Structure 1
């Protein structure tokens, strides 16, 4: 994404259910940035069973450096969860006509991820009545916090 006319890169860690775990904004998309992001995510959330990435070579180089290259999986539709987690950020970017600073993008993505994890209930897997019950508790909590 562009911030003040300069390209910045948003790195996202998403778990197997599509919940955002970590977001990170860097000015480069190289081995160093990939390594820093992977180390930070592993420090906070532990070592995963598999790491699904796109075919960017910096991911492979970073994973080789920390001896986790055997965990990497790349494939045609494997990283769709991470790509779909970018959609709200892209929508917001269009609405406000770009972010002005890296710090605001970083804040927005971290807050948005926790907000989405809290309210997203995988609607396609449950009935309408159960969805209403599950949504009522977070909405009541939200009203208490905001009220």
Structure 2
């Protein structure tokens, strides 16, 4: 490992100092973008759930939300319009059968 890329948070510097990696830390304006962008889906969900006061309620919501999102998210950008419409129709029909 040649470098550890972090943002400028002081606690990272202190932790790296404790484990002997203080010289390997790199901080820079755009170096951390790759890491931050990988957290975007989680942060989006986190922002939607900020109003929850109890962790139990939050866990229930996130479990249901994940199931619905995975069911209805068809990755539109990866398939043609015809396939997308066919999949969407099948998904809606399955949902109506389950709900009805």
Matched length: 74
Unpaired stretches in structure 1, ≥5 consecutive residues = 1-53, 61-74
Q: Judge conservation of contact 1:99–1:105 (CA < 8 Å) in 2.
A: yes
Q: CA deviation at 1:77?
A: 1.7
Question: Which has the greater radius of gyration?
Answer: 2
Residues 1:81 and 1:139: Cα distance change in structure 2 (over 3 Å): farther
Give the strand-richer structure, 1 or 2.
1
Higher relative contact order (CA 8 A, sep 6+): 1
1:102 equivalent to 2:83? Answer no
Give the helix-richer structure, 1 or 2.
2
Partner of 1:91: 48
**Structure 2-normalised TM-score?**
0.57
SS, match of residue 34 in structure 2: coil
Q: CA deviation at 1:81?
A: 3.9
Unpaired stretches in structure 2, ≥5 consecutive residues = 16-31
**Structure 1-normalised TM-score?**
0.41
